[in-house]
Structure 1
Amino acid sequence: MTAQPADGELDYLSFVDFAIARTSTELEGIDPEAMRLVLTLHRLTSALVYDLESAVHRPRGLSWPGFRVLFVLWLAGPLEAKRVAELSGMSRAAVSALVKTLERGGLVERRQAEHDRRAVQLTLTAAGRETITSDYRAHNEREQAWANTLDAHERATLIGLLDKLMAGSAAAEAKRRF
């Protein structure tokens, strides 16, 4: 059994190496490369989202989910709530609860859809549009700070590889569950 690391020796991102080494000794037949890929991607994505939310969105009064809903409505709206949930990667229940908060804040309006009285159509208000465009400018500045770690060729390569993962069979299976 692998020894436990000393307190303070690990952090959120360096835990990947420890987890792979420890899992490899605990379980036969695991694929450490697949584990490294998925664990690193997950942890990096979580760190990036946390950074965007804490450095950009929370100081402007939005949560990460609130930003995602406004972003979808800004670019693809007006939309039914179920479509906003789909495009934002959130559950219908989460969007429904969040829209109440966004509506109280004057950022989103809910209306009965014309084609189906049971459906709810969501629209950005003028204040919502101003909020998301201002937020996205700051968001993109932070995106640039992350992306500038890589040169143009490295960014293009990484984007190509991520696109390939998103087009793979495992991603297709996951999309069917959304």
Structure 2
Amino acid sequence: MNLAVAPKPTISFTPREISDWRGTPSLAIARSLQLSGPTATIAVPAIKRSVPVVRHLARLWLDSQGISDDGARFAVQLAVSELVTNAVEHTSSMVITSRLHKDRTNVWVEVQDQGGTPSVPRLKPPDTALDNGRGLALVAEVVCGWGFSLAPADNNCTVWAAIPYSDNQEEETPAA
């Protein structure tokens, strides 16, 4: 599923910027995330070190959107982490692009690679004897829907996940 939203500026990183990342984005990056409105687009090199950077920026975007629903925040960060990891590990992409978008009821996570593999994402039973291979199954458990689309011209694959969120968190009041 490709979101039908107007393109927004992309925040792009070089491999050196990812390697030098120390957990705090520059003021320019933070402002870009906040000014992007309901959509943020982040392009990173297809290296493992990019995963925590994208996860951190997703958290900042959730903050800027006022999404405080803990379950949704967890699911968004898990989906971003696992989908970017899969794109890094299972494609020959040089760049991975993540998009975060919200509508009235869902946060949409999209991760697009540059193709380079004949396989498509598929949900398979996790093998607990292995150290990997459970990412998509974990994502499927915490989202209300997921899927993928292939661009026939260049074999780019976009994997998406929909995560419901609540604007109104019920605050727990201690019993008297």
Q: What is the TM-score when the length of structure 2 is the normalising length?
A: 0.28
Q: Which has the higher helix share?
A: 1
Greater RCO (Cα-Cα under 8 Å, separation 6 or more): 2
Q: Which has the higher strand share?
A: 2
Q: What is the TM-score when the length of structure 1 is the normalising length?
A: 0.28
